[in-house]
Amino acid sequence: MSDRKYMFESYQLPSGVTLKNRVLLAPMTNFLSNDDGSVSDKELEYYKRRSGGVGAVITACANVNEYGKGFDGEIGAHRDDLIPSLRKLADAIHEKGSKAILQIFHGGRMCPPHLIPNEDVVSASAVAALRPNSPTPREMTEEEIQQTIADFGSATRRAIEAGFDGIEIHGANTYLLQQFFSPHSNRRDDQWGGSVEDRMNFPLAVVESVKAAVAEHAKDEFVVGYRLSPEEREEPGITMDDTLQLVDVLAKQDLDYLHISLSSFNQGSMRDENDTRPRIDLIQERVGSIIPVMGVGSLHTADDVEAALAKVPMISLGREMLMEPDWVEKVAKGEEDQIRTAMKLNQQEELAIPEPMWTKILNVPNWFPKEEE
């Protein structure tokens, strides 16, 4: 058995849910659900293959209403008739021995128009993302804002009824909650926009809606996490100072963790290349004594993970678990030299990565190191 100091310790979250270890599967889009939002057999196999070793699996994002679908092949959590499908997913993860956490989100202005009713893409304000061919969204009405807040609560209820152990609110990666918090995408002058404090109102209302659903429907302890991206490149955009103010408030919301979305665990500022202090350190120093912080990003080896866990109590693994579904088990057995560190092109079936995900992995430049065998 591995003599790793931190990785294989159990960890109790504030809600009372205990993870058997401190390594989780990061939420990663997989394009594998059916067009109606139900979970496909291929998707169940993909998750089963990566469950068991990790303390918990955080799923790919599930949209909370039909205007929030951000990807082809995305899990749906927006209708009650999808609860049996969600239950299959929770059961598949539990069967292998990991906790199951459903990530819930709304894509806002990042939603491809063809996935949205009447191609009616919405956001905090009518400001397009700074990406080629981005549609200019329509500013959400007060009624739509209130409905979306309620929809996050309804998605949480469905996750509870489906047997999940928790949900993660996706407030990162430029999607709707981040769009409300960002001065780039939010130019409103009502209660939902303006100062840093006012731009927090929508994310905080979503947190409140989710917590109310948990209080009403969960019979057992239930995890509520929140994922955020610390900075934006845009001007104006989210600064580290904005984010430290946000985490101050989130830390007081009785959440189970803050999941800091970074491409590299120790990365410095994306706004100022001279500011090399790891963003995760700044957040941990600010609120780590009040709320558990989870890190992610380019943690390839067991040594990388142990070094990260010396700073924060939990980490999630993304690409590493795509290339090596048995990452945790191999470390536990002392077989670290057996861990795959590149995508093996002749092992698609063994890695349980079906189409169309496999083609995307092969075609996106610099996403994965690849080897013929």
Residue-by-residue pLDDT tens, the chain, 373 positions: 567 899 999 999 999 999 999 999 999 999 999 999 999 999 999 999 999 999 999 999 999 999 999 999 999 999 999 999 999 999 999 999 999 999 999 999 999 999 999 999 999 999 999 999 999 999 999 999 999 999 999 999 999 999 999 999 999 999 999 999 999 999 999 999 999 999 999 999 999 999 999 999 999 999 999 999 999 999 999 999 999 999 999 999 999 999 999 999 999 999 999 999 999 999 999 999 999 999 999 999 999 999 999 999 999 999 999 999 999 999 999 999 999 999 999 999 999 999 999 999 999 998 999 998 7
- Strands (E) across 147-216 are located at 166-171
Distance in angstroms (rounded) separating the CA atoms of residues 243 and 315? 20
Per CATH, which fold does 11-341 belong to? TIM Barrel (3.20.20)
Query: 92, 98 in Cβ contact below 8 A?
Result: no
| Burial group, residue 39, by CB count within 10 angstroms (0-12, 13-18, 19+) | buried
Sequence letter at residue 9: E
Q: What is the pLDDT of residue 281?
A: 98
Q: What is the pLDDT of residue 2?
A: 65
Distance in angstroms (rounded) separating the CA atoms of residues 312 and 166? 20
Q: Which residue numbers are catalytic?
A: 175
What are the backbone angles phi and psi of residue 123, rounded to the nearest 5°? -160, -175
**Alpha carbon separation from 12 to 17, 293, 355 (Å, rounded):** 6, 13, 37
Distance in angstroms (rounded) separating the CA atoms of residues 304 and 364? 25
Q: What is the pLDDT of residue 17?
A: 98
Contacts of 366 (CB under 8 A, 6+ apart): none
pLDDT digits (tens, 9 = 90+) for 92-107: 999 999 999 999 999 9
Helix axes 83-96, 41-50, angle to 10 degrees: 30
With 0.95 as the threshold, say if the pTM is over it: yes
Q: What is the pLDDT of residue 3?
A: 72
Spell out the domain ranges in the chain.
Answer: 11-341
Q: What is the pLDDT of residue 372?
A: 82
Query: 110, 185 in Cβ contact below 8 A?
Result: no
Distance in angstroms (rounded) separating the CA atoms of residues 278 and 28? 23
Cα angle value 304/23/107 (rounded, 5°): 100
**Alpha carbon separation from 251 to 99, 150, 290, 291 (Å, rounded):** 23, 22, 6, 6
Q: What is the pLDDT of residue 1?
A: 52
